[in-house]
Amino acid sequence: MLDFAIDYRKVIDLITGERDSNLRDYELRRSEWAIALELRNVLNIFKDATTYFSRGSTPNLAMVIPAMDHIDEALVTNIDSDKLSAAVKAALKVGKRTLNRYYSKTDYSETYRIAMVLHPRHKLTYFRNADWPDDWIKTAETIVRTKFEQKYQNVTEPSVRYLYSFPFLSADLL
């Protein structure tokens, strides 16, 4: 919507600027258009993430934390920017607090860390490259090892003899 408004600014200014249209109350000042432009540029990170996770075949659980880290980095960079207005920076700070609240909720589910550690592209390297504290990285590794030991360590592969013990798979029938 913001893309549309900025792309069609001249037309919107013409329509809202006409006295007979009764839309003058909605006419934006230059400073408001500048804020709209700033917002469009910084909100693109959310649009990109939404588009990525809306695709049917691509997104997976292992990409949630990297996406949140990417958004967080963009927010911090823009909050520290001298080029943005105070209003946009204030909005970004609220967005960062909200992101942090959701990010902390990933701590309540081991699934995110397990998915990342087991993902061939990430493993523990992602956490190191993202400058996670060593104790957090160790915790992620411990979670995966513990879960493996609890659920899978004592699972044995079925033997060929075991498969043939079923009547419908009997060697006599083959």
Least confident range from 12-26, 61-75, 111-125, 151-165: namely 151-165
Q: State pTM to two decimals.
A: 0.74
Least confident range from 25-29, 68-72, 102-106: namely 25-29
pLDDT at 26 exceeding the cut of 70: yes
Per-residue pLDDT band for 162 (boundaries 50, 70, 90) equals low
List pLDDT tens digits, range 81-91. 999 999 999 99
Domain boundaries, the chain: 1-108, 109-152
Q: Among 74, 58, 72, which Cα is nearest to 121's?
A: 58
Specify whether the CB–CB gap between 39 and 9 falls below 8 A: no
For the chain, the average pLDDT equals: 87
pLDDT at 172 exceeding the cut of 60: no
Per-residue pLDDT band for 99 (boundaries 50, 70, 90) equals very high
**If you ran DSSP here, which 8-state letter would residue 123 be given?**
T
Q: CA 9, 13, 18: angle at the middle one, nearest 5?
A: 160
List pLDDT tens digits, range 39-80. 999 999 999 999 888 887 766 888 899 999 999 999 999 999
Q: Among 168, 171, 149, 152, which Cα is nearest to 160's?
A: 171
**Segment 20-29 mean pLDDT:** 84
CA distance 172 to 160: 14
| More confident position, 125 or 57 | 125
